Amino acid sequence: MEPEAATGRAANTGPEPATETGPEPAAQAARHEASPASSRLGAVLAVLSIVLMAACLRPAATSLGPVLAEVEAAFGLQGWQAGLLTALPGAAYVVFGAVAFLVLRRLGMFRALLLCVVAIAVGLLVRVLGDSWAAFAGFTTLALAGMAMGNVVLPVYVKARFPTAQTRAVTVFMMALGLGAALPTLLTAPAADVLGGWRPGLGLWAALPVLALVVWLALRGLGPTPDLGARTPASSGARPRPITASRGVWALTLYFGLQSLHAYVQFGWAAQIYRDAGLDPVTAGLMVTIIVAGGIPGGFIAPQIVARGRHVRPVLVGYAIAAMGGYAGLLLAPTTLPWLWAVGLAVGGFSFPSALALITVRTRRPEVTARTSGFVQPVGYLLAAVGPLLLGVVLEATGSWEVPLVALLVLAGLMGLAAWIAGAPGSVDAELEPVRDADAADGVDAAAEDADVGGR
């Protein structure tokens, strides 16, 4: 696998990626060529590390809901305390996702991901051992911090480690992410019944980051970890443009934020919408499971469509149309074919793996991938966090689901428009070409635009 990686780096128009032991990719590739068995083992461990670490990035958020009532009873929580626990994931995405790029630049790829995995493991395990609600919330926050930073850093590792196998690597990452979200939702409550309580039911998910840590350390023992590309040399007189100078980044941010808004609304309110329409709690919960489980096939299908670059924009808009169909069904006939509306929302949820895949595909160099991901995700999640709150306000003001569902229909249409813009050909790298001084900025912009149009 490493010889391929070396070839991919040589073909890259950007600077050579450095490892944490020094920028010597040619020597590194030669060492791996001399040991084919070590190279094959390294490739297997690299894929396994992606699977395990991606699966770690959701249980801290999705495992709590099925046993939230038991946690409330155990700690005697008031309503605001339970509400705070459910709001922590969104806050963690915004706060810790925003500093993930700085952590990556300071610690390097290996230590940054090591920090993420350790934080998740310690947080998931220790939070179930104490008798204090403050300790439970604190260690949940620690796990969510590792999860939020891993959201930003892990796609960069995928980009750097498999430069010539992007489609397969991103597909593996997204499928593992979907499983890591769906399985805790489905299995935490049954596991709590079998194991004797909510504490072991929640604590068992700490096994995932522990396994990921073992594999990550074993992979490190075989050689250095690919890292970010070097910065533009200061001697050239050039300076990098800010990430906000890219129109593509703003389009990706809007698309990511809107699809996250829909996901948060569905996870938080879909069951209540079904129950208010007349479904029993079990059936309503099953509908939500259908919506969440859509992340598994979506994690397989969506990244491949984005990475192959064929009919990307119409497909992305199609996901938004499916979501609009789901909301329209909930508005007009929620109990007639409830599973069909859930399937529509699940297909609309394919927008999440598509948005993450676009971050990887629309960037060439790992450092640009990191900067883009470090901006798009926190800002997008900040937009998403407002959605459920405003929906609750509108619901209380109107007393019915009619106005909120119409609003969600409109927002799904806006998501389709954002998807069309974000799915346009071109790369963020071209928009961020360094400039020598402020007076030259307009000329560089024009050149980047010309290159982009030519590439289309």
DSSP-based three-state secondary structure for 33: helix
Q: What is the pLDDT of residue 39?
A: 79
> How far is the C-alpha of 123 from the C-alpha of 272, rounded, in Å?
30
Are the C-beta atoms of 370 and 104 separated by less than 8 Å? yes
Nearest in space to 88 (alpha carbons), one of 33, 152, 134, 32: 134
Q: How confident is the model at residue 1 (pLDDT cuts 50, 70, 90)?
A: very low
Residue holding tokens 């906000």?
Answer: 244
Give the burial class of 280: count Cβ atoms within 10 A of its Cβ; 0-12 exposed, 13-18 middle, 19 or more buried: exposed
Q: Which of 22-36, 176-190, 264-278, 307-321 has the lowest mean pLDDT?
A: 22-36
% the chain with pLDDT above 70? 83
Q: Distance between terminal CA atoms of the chain?
A: 31
Number of other residues whose CB lies within 10 A of the CB of residue 265:
23
| Reported confidence tier of residue 360, pLDDT bands at 50, 70, 90 | confident
Per-residue pLDDT tens digits for 128-179: 998 888 999 999 999 999 999 998 899 889 888 887 777 788 888 888 888 8
Alpha carbon distance 398, 419 (integer Å) = 31
pLDDT 10s digits, 186-199: 788 889 889 999 99
Fold: same for 1-12+38-229 and 239-456? yes
Residue 24 pLDDT greater than 60, yes or no:
no
Report the range of poorest mean pLDDT among 71-85, 243-257, 331-345. Answer: 71-85
For residues 111 and 147, what is the distance between their CA atoms, to the nearest angstrom? 15
Sign of CA dihedral 346, 352, 353, 354: positive
- CATH says 1-12+38-229 is which class? mainly alpha
* Domain-wise residue ranges, the chain: 1-12+38-229, 239-456
CATH match for 239-456 among 1.20.1250.20, 1.10.10.10, 3.40.109.10, 3.90.1150.10:
1.20.1250.20
| Euclidean distance between CA atoms 70 and 76, whole angstroms | 10
Distance CA 419, CA 275 (A): 31
